[in-house]
Chains A and B, each alone.
Chain A
Amino acid sequence: MKVIGIAGTAKNTGKTTAIAALINSITGVSGLCVTSIGYDGEAVDNVTGLPKPRLHLPEGALVVTADSCLPAGSAVITKLEITGLSTPLGRLVIGRVQRPGLVVLAGPNSEKALRTVIGFLKKYNVCLLLVDGALGRLAPMSAAAGLVIATGASRSTDTDKLLAEVKAFEFLLSLPVLPVQEPVLTVPSLLVDDNTGVFLPALAGANTVDFTGVVDIKPFLKITEALECRSALPLLLFRDPVRLLLCGDPEKMALKLRAYNQKGGLAGVRSPLKLLAVTVNPFYPRCDKAGKHYAAAIDREKLYETFSEGLGVPVVDVVRQGGERLAKILCIQPEQTDVN
């Protein structure tokens, strides 16, 4: 089973548009399943009031969604199994589309829940599980094997700034899988500066600093500052790239790790998450003086070209290029989309 997550750098960056285009372009592929780590289905955005894209699923596709969402779309869905997981909208169930139509998705909302769902799906011969993201959320995507990042003007109207952020993502998502070197100092989640002190004395004897949780950039910089006094730099090991992306400032994190590597250190992950492609969306909601939102856009060509030239991974403008190109990109790397 290929498990591909489509995550965004912000709200309205084009996650659902990308997944909808992808589904349209692979109609006929058997074993498709779709879910969301958030909620897909509203016709208009609950903050901006602007129209939102909807997911239309073909007959035979599976969905993982809250029980109460099954009758909410136009698709006729037969319930196959109740998973035992729950969401604010009810129990999570697996269903099969009997009559094609729009679906409403409210799926697993944590990494563990997504892993549990993947386990459930094994008996249904699912070949491809597409996981739609929510806002800028990333944590549950650790359970996926491949990631598509959606970004665009909704995150920032400054194209260079956008590229800098995604380049940091690209770097962090490409860190190598490295083995542990003894002795190991285990550092759990570090979110505030105050908690850093207890680990500093132990840094001296460690060959690996193993970050098992999430580390905020500020305490992380304190730790690396302490480490850089050493002649032999230890290995910095992170559980997976998602934990790095959630550090609060991925650009600063990427910069620090590059510098660390240049100084002879090494940074890596225990579990990889491959960045498969980046989609770009020039549109963003803008607010007029009366407080009413309307759709605005930045230079589409410039956005696409800047990203294509600046990134090593494929870049897709889904609205202009359609889902076929994205599907092609994802299909040419099937070996990298196996479940962890």
Chain B
Amino acid sequence: MGVAKKVLLAPMDPVHDIGLKMIRRGLEEAGHTTWLYPPGYSPQEIINGIIENQADTVLISRTLGYGVEEVLARFVDLLDAAGLRDRVKTAVGGMAIRPELAAELGFDGGFGPGTTVEEAVAFVEGRDYIPAGRAGGKQRYELVGDYSYEFKNTAIRSLLGRITAQILAWAGERTSPGIERAYLRRQMLACAKEGGNCASLKKDYARLCDGVIRGYYETGGLHPQTRKLEAGELSALRRYVEQTKAKMDPAALRHTRQKPGVFVQYGTGCPSLDVAHIKIAEAWGADGVVHFDPSWGARAEGFMEGYLTHQEDGSVITPENLSIIREALQDSTLWQVRAHRGLNTPETVLLAAHTGADLTKINIAYGSLGAGTDPERMTVDGVQAIRFAAEYGLPFDVVTNEELSGVPAHKAFAGMLIVADLAISLGARPILQPLFCNSPEVMINGYMADNYVDFNAAKILALRNIVSAPVWPGAPIGFLTQTEERVQSSMSTGLHAALAASLGVEAISIASSDEAYSGGPIAAASRTDTLQAVKEAFRFFGQATILPTPTASKWAQALEAGIEQVLYSVAEMGDFVQAVHNGLLGGREEGAYPGRVGRGTVRRV
């Protein structure tokens, strides 16, 4: 604090002096002298008080109604005419006060709803107000944290060691068109960077692609569901990004806890619309964004190039599309490009790393059982993708979305831990991604008949008992608990976020309030609904915790035991791919069908 100030606080209103009382306490704690007048003093009496006490700041509070503005304006006028205006700083606060109105009334500052005591103290002291946690602008969220990746459950560690060794030995003798394309892509990127002639590389690349994608390289034809962004659209997008960045002032979502980071997903099919969603999410406080690509992109061999738009169920991955989205991000925003489930997994990790992504997503078990990729192909490609992630220092989450098909959590977690252990052994940094969801398993067994807390908490407790690793529930949290009703949907997201915070996880992914039921593009208002709901939930709980019932611990133990049993079966089988086919990580009766896309494309080296 600099020089101690003399501050007169006057509620020009019969009852509304609570805010001023709080500010007074803050000012006195900061060493300033204050006088708090009773409500209802006239402008003349307040100015007389300023003169008598030689106050250098006056803070007025007043609710607004027709005619009240004239009273406030008269106060400022009298202060000016009394020759005090230039040595007495003035501010007005109240429910309807905005900076524009404060300017109209002639005050130096105007404080509306949500003003903090710190903000008022900063005004009095003549400092710029920087909200807590926003000093120097929004900081990048530190996601991975300080985890040892040590397995606490030694039996599980031993089983995973056997499985990992088997997978690495098996995959080490095999390759696929996906892996070969990834290496070609690396050469193509280097060639383009050096400004060389990349035609022959592209020719080789095209030979490893499916018909439609190959057609792009041979004839310039596009996938029927895409078109190129026009030059005007691109320049408008860049202009929009420039203008939006200039006025970006991201909100702070977290209250007093440091965790979790909050991610939102985008994938409208149109890079321009994606960027608009990203900028909205950033402004409302999201720490990170996740790129969703279209499902056919996972089933087709190879990537096209250029700025492509008009896809319907995700945004096409091309080097250019990823680059323009990267350009649009705030420096503080974490960016995840998913690579987890299809025929382009290694190349996606490579492109993500080259375009500056912070995170990616890989899961061999889910890609094989829930996303339609042949287990053999997914395993070979997955191992290579993990190798790239390790090489480029790209942490990745291991999602367990097969739970949504009906695979029990303990089987999905066994698959997740296998991939995590592979990653740890290859020097990568995996993030465990259990679902916070009302899955088919949960519905059938009534695990959430009473509450949504216990089973989700059990998942986190079980994982914490097994390994020291970051946990990032997703994706999005509250899956299958939200309805088409926006308030319900937002509240459900907010409460699941509060549970995540209470459990101390590293991050969460959230949906918009209309995501599950939009039937089309997601509305911006729905995007902000859930971000606001999460913010409010964090504010509500602060450092308070949500206490699960004793059932959570019981279920956690059961989960851990179930995981160990599954891993034992897989290890005993001695063939991971076969174990997937045999349903050890999720069977047909559980909605898990080993994929067929890419079957027969793996070859020995």
Establish whether residues B100 and A139, one from each chain, have CB atoms under 8 Å apart when the complex forms: no
Question: Given A189-B47, A214-B78, do A134 and B86 touch, yes or no (CB 8 Å)?
Answer: no
From A287, which residue of chain B is reached at the shortest CB distance? B66
- A191 contacts which of B48, B77, B86, B101 (Cβ < 8 Å)? B48
- Residue of B51, B65, B108 near A86 (CB, 8 A) is B108
Report yes or no: A88 in contact with B77, Cβ–Cβ below 8 A: no
Q: Quick one: given A39-B103, A89-B100, A195-B48, are A246 and B77 in contact (CB under 8 Å)?
A: yes
Residues of A within 8 A of B86 (CB): 110, 112-113
Contact A189 B83 (CB under 8 A): yes
Contact with B along A21-63 (1 / 0, CB 8 A): 0000000000000000111011000111000000000000000
> What residue of chain B has the Cβ atom nearest to residue A114's Cβ?
B80
The answer on a CB contact under 8 Å between B45 and A134 is no
Q: B75 → chain A, closest Cβ, in Å?
A: 10
A118 contacts the other chain (Cβ, under 8 Å)? no
Once the chains bind, are A248 and B44 in contact (CB under 8 Å)? yes
Q: Mark A191-218, 1 if CB is under 8 A from B, else 0.
A: 1100100000000000000001110100
Whether the pair A111, B85 counts as a contact (CB closer than 8 A) is yes
Minimum CB–CB distance from B80 to chain A (whole Å) comes to 3
Inter-subunit contact B70/A135 (CB<8 Å): yes
Taking a contact as CB atoms under 8 Å apart, the answer to whether A47 and B69 are in contact is yes
Interface string of B67-90 (1 = CB under 8 A from A): 001100110111111111110000
Contact A139 B108 (CB under 8 A): no
Which residues of A are found within 8 Å of B66, using beta-carbon distances?
47-48, 285, 287
- Chain B residues whose CB sits within 8 angstroms of the CB of A110 once the complex forms: 80, 85-86, 106
Closest Cβ of chain A: how far from B8's Cβ, in Å?
A: 14
The one of A46, A86, A214 that contacts B81, using a Cβ cutoff of 8 Å: A214
Does A96 have its Cβ within 8 Å of any Cβ on chain B? no
Chain A residue with the shortest CB-CB distance to B110: A88
Is A242 on the interface with B (CB-CB < 8 A)? yes
A243 to B85, CA, bound (A): 14
Q: Mark B288-321, 1 if CB is under 8 A from A, else 0.
A: 0000000000000000000000000000000000
B240 to chain A, nearest CB (A): 14
State whether B103 touches A66 (Cβ < 8 A): yes
Which residues in B have their C-beta under 8 angstroms from that of A140? 80, 106
Question: In whole Å, how far is A66's beta carbon from the nearest beta carbon of chain B?
Answer: 7
Chain A's closest residue to B86 (CB) is A112
Q: Which residues of B contact A188 (CB under 8 A)?
A: 82-83
| Residue in chain B with minimal CB distance to A155 | B70
With a 10 A CB-CB cut-off, give which of B74, B86, B98, B106 has the most chain A CB atoms: B106
Query: How far apart sit A195 and B49, CA to CA, in the bound complex (Å)?
Result: 12
Q: What residues of B have a CB within 8 angstroms of the CB of A73 in the complex?
A: none
Q: Which residues of A, 53-108, contact B by the 8 Å Cβ criterion? A: 66, 86-89, 106
Partner of B64, one of A10, A47, A106, A113: A47
A136 touches B103 (CB 8 A): no
B106 neighbours in A (Cβ, 8 Å): 37-38, 109-110, 134, 137, 139-140
Residue from B44, B65, B102, B109 in contact with A216 in the complex, judged by beta carbons closer than 8 Å: B44
Contact call B73/A46, Cβ cutoff below 8 A: no
Task: Verify if A167 is at the interface (C-beta below 8 Å from B).
Answer: no
- B173 interface residue per 8 A CB criterion: no
Residue A147 at the B interface, CB < 8 A?
A: no
Q: What separation, in Å, do the CA atoms of A136 and B69 have in the docked complex?
A: 9
Minimal beta-carbon separation of A93 from chain B (angstroms): 14
* Best-buried of B51, B76, B77, B83 by chain A (most CB within 10 Å): B77
A91 to B477 CA separation, bound complex (whole angstroms):
43
- The answer to whether B103 and A214 have CB atoms under 8 Å apart is no
A88 touches B80 (CB 8 A): no
- In the bound complex, do residue B102 and residue A135 qualify as a contact, i.e. CB atoms below 8 Å apart? no
- Evaluate whether A89 and B82 lie within 8 angstroms (CB atoms) in the complex, with A47-B65, A191-B44, A191-B48 already known: no
- B99 within 8 Å of A by Cβ? yes
Partner of A189, one of B51, B70, B107: B51
Collect the chain B residues with CB atoms within 8 Å of residue A257's CB: none
* Contact assessment for A213 and B81 in the assembled complex, using a CB-CB cutoff below 8 Å: yes
Q: Is B69 within 8 A of A189, CB to CB?
A: no
Which chain B positions have C-beta within 8 A of A37?
Answer: 106
Determine the chain A residues whose CB is within 8 A of the CB of B104 once the complex forms: 38-39, 134-135
Chain A residues near B82 (CB, 8 Å)? 188-189, 191, 213-214
Chain B residue, CB-CB nearest to A138: B77
In the complex, what residues of A have CB within 8 A of residue B69's CB? Answer: 11, 47, 135
- List A residues at the B interface (Cβ < 8 Å): 10-11, 37-39, 41-42, 46-48, 66, 86-89, 106, 109-113, 134-140, 142, 188-189, 191-192, 195, 212-214, 216, 242-243, 246, 248, 285, 287
- Partner-A contacts on B (CB < 8 A): 44-45, 47-48, 51, 64-66, 69-70, 73-74, 76-86, 96, 98-110
16 extra interface residue pairs, beta carbon distance < 8 Å, beyond A89-B100, A136-B73: A38-B104, A39-B100, A39-B101, A39-B104, A87-B103, A88-B103, A88-B107, A89-B99, A109-B76, A109-B103, A112-B85, A139-B85, A142-B81, A189-B81, A213-B83, A214-B81
Q: Which 8 A-B pairs have the closest CB atoms?
A: A139-B80, A214-B81, A189-B82, A191-B44, A38-B104, A39-B104, A88-B102, A39-B103
**A–B complex contacts, Cβ < 8 Å, 12 sampled:** A46-B98, A88-B103, A89-B103, A106-B100, A106-B103, A109-B103, A110-B85, A111-B80, A113-B86, A135-B105, A140-B106, A191-B82
